[in-house]
């Protein structure tokens, strides 16, 4: 987060985060903090982190990490997390049994400049778990290590596709969660049904393979958390992309709750 916005050409981080800062101030279920701070040029930035504590349920709280804006030129996911937490604040029962930790702007310098890369010129989503020196990556890796999320959802947008799709990393649980997420998004945007998406084989909008170095759980975390990357078409209207992301998020937490209830009854 920029401390003293200096030029009007930059996109306004405070404008984006304002509703969440209001929530953190007024809703006891929302806690707003910084995951970490760093300096780029003469400006201090932070990776904002907002926790939403849902009403308790008969099971241990399910802790999810929600990430957006790793690529600074994909604002729909950022907006979606802001609005999603707003919806949960108004209707907390939607998040019963969950502790959600949202990172709406993982690449604040890129968000400001509307660039995919950060201000050092790097694609942060190729830097994870490779000993990166980029502060954004180090901060987020530390979050992933310490929170030990039960599941992570990362929102992205792709300017080479016409519809929604997602990465399931070859795991059945991820596919089982991604499927309803894509279904839920379809009233807002079509599904990308191509057989090859972003260079990977795809089936009904679900990709098994993925790039290396993307934001992901730490290797070896047991039990392995679910891990979904949800993509909207970056050239579609922002409002539709945002709505599609929000619908997908609701669908995933609903479906995972069903999965947990089923697993407990086995
Ligand atoms: Zn992206």
- pLDDT score for 24: 96
Task: Determine, yes or no, domain membership for 259.
Answer: yes
CA of 21 to the centre of ligand 1 (A): 25
Please give the backbone phi and psi of residue 149, each rounded to the nearest 5 degrees, phi first.
-60, 145
CA of 87 to the centre of ligand 1 (A): 24
The pLDDT tens digits of the residues spanning 41-92 come to 999 999 999 999 999 998 899 999 999 999 999 999 999 999 999 999 999 9
What's the CATH code of the domain at 215? 3.40.630.10
CA of 172 to the centre of ligand 1 (A): 23
Residue 5: which pLDDT band, with cuts at 50, 70 and 90?
very low
Task: Determine, yes or no, domain membership for 236.
Answer: yes
CA of 25 to the centre of ligand 1 (A): 30
CA of 108 to the centre of ligand 1 (A): 14
- pLDDT score for 2: 45
Q: What's the CA gap between 78 and 93, in Å, rounded?
A: 23
Task: Give residues whose Cβ lies within 5 Å of ion ligand 1.
Answer: 71, 74, 156
79 near 16, Cβ under 8 Å? Answer: yes
Average pLDDT value for the chain: 95
The pLDDT tens digits of the residues spanning 183-202 come to 999 999 999 999 999 899 99
Task: Determine, yes or no, domain membership for 5.
Answer: no
Taking Cα atoms as reference points, which of 67, 16, 76, 11 lies closest to residue 238? 76
CA of 214 to the centre of ligand 1 (A): 10
User: Angle, nearest 10°, between helix axes 238-265 and 75-90?
Assistant: 60
Can you read off the two tokens belonging to residue 54? 């849902």
Q: What's the CA gap between 224 and 220, in Å, rounded?
A: 7
- pLDDT score for 65: 98
CA of 158 to the centre of ligand 1 (A): 6
CA of 45 to the centre of ligand 1 (A): 20
Task: Determine, yes or no, domain membership for 2.
Answer: no
Task: Determine, yes or no, domain membership for 162.
Answer: yes
CA of 116 to the centre of ligand 1 (A): 7
The parent domain of residue 232 ranges over 13-265
CA of 156 to the centre of ligand 1 (A): 4
The pLDDT tens digits of the residues spanning 186-245 come to 999 999 999 999 899 999 999 998 899 999 999 999 999 999 999 999 999 999 999 999
pLDDT of 3 > 50? The answer is no
CA of 2 to the centre of ligand 1 (A): 22
Total number of domains in the chain = 1
CA of 94 to the centre of ligand 1 (A): 27
- Average pLDDT of span 102-121: 98
- pLDDT score for 210: 87
Task: Determine, yes or no, domain membership for 235.
Answer: yes
CA of 265 to the centre of ligand 1 (A): 38
pLDDT of 4 > 70? The answer is no
- Average pLDDT of span 136-140: 98
CA of 61 to the centre of ligand 1 (A): 29
Task: Determine, yes or no, domain membership for 189.
Answer: yes
- pLDDT score for 251: 98
- Apex 124 CA angle, 120 and 130, nearest 5: 105
Q: What's the CA gap between 265 and 59, in Å, rounded?
A: 12
65 near 144, Cβ under 8 Å? Answer: yes
Task: Determine, yes or no, domain membership for 99.
Answer: yes
Q: What's the CA gap between 23 and 62, in Å, rounded?
A: 21
């Amino acid at each position: 987060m920029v401390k003293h916005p200096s030029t009007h050409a930059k996109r306004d981080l405070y404008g984006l985060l304002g509703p969440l800062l209001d929530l953190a101030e007024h809703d006891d279920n929302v806690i707003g903090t910084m995951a970490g701070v760093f300096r780029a040029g003469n400006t201090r930035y932070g990776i904002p982190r907002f926790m939403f504590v849902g009403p308790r349920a008969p099971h241990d709280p399910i802790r999810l990490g929600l990430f957006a804006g790793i690529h600074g030129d994909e604002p729909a996911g950022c907006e979606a997390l802001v609005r999603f937490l707003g919806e949960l604040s108004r209707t907390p029962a939607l998040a019963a049994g969950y502790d959600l930790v949202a990172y709406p702007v993982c690449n604040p310098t890129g968000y400001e400049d509307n660039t995919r890369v950060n201000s050092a010129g790097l694609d942060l989503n190729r830097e994870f778990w490779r000993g990166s020196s980029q502060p954004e990556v180090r901060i987020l890796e530390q979050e992933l290590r310490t929170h030990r999320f039960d599941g992570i959802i990362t929102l992205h947008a792709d300017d080479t596709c016409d519809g929604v799709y997602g990465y399931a990393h070859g795991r059945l649980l991820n596919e089982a969660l991604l499927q309803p997420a894509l279904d839920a998004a379809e009233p807002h945007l079509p599904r990308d049904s191509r057989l090859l998406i972003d260079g990977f084989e795809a089936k009904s909008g679900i990709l098994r393979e993925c790039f290396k170095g993307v934001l992901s759980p730490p290797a070896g975390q047991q039990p392995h958390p679910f891990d979904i990357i949800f993509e909207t078409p970056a050239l579609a209207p922002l409002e539709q992309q945002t709505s599609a992301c929000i619908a997908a998020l609701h669908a995933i937490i609903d479906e995972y709750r069903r999965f947990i209830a089923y697993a407990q009854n086995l």
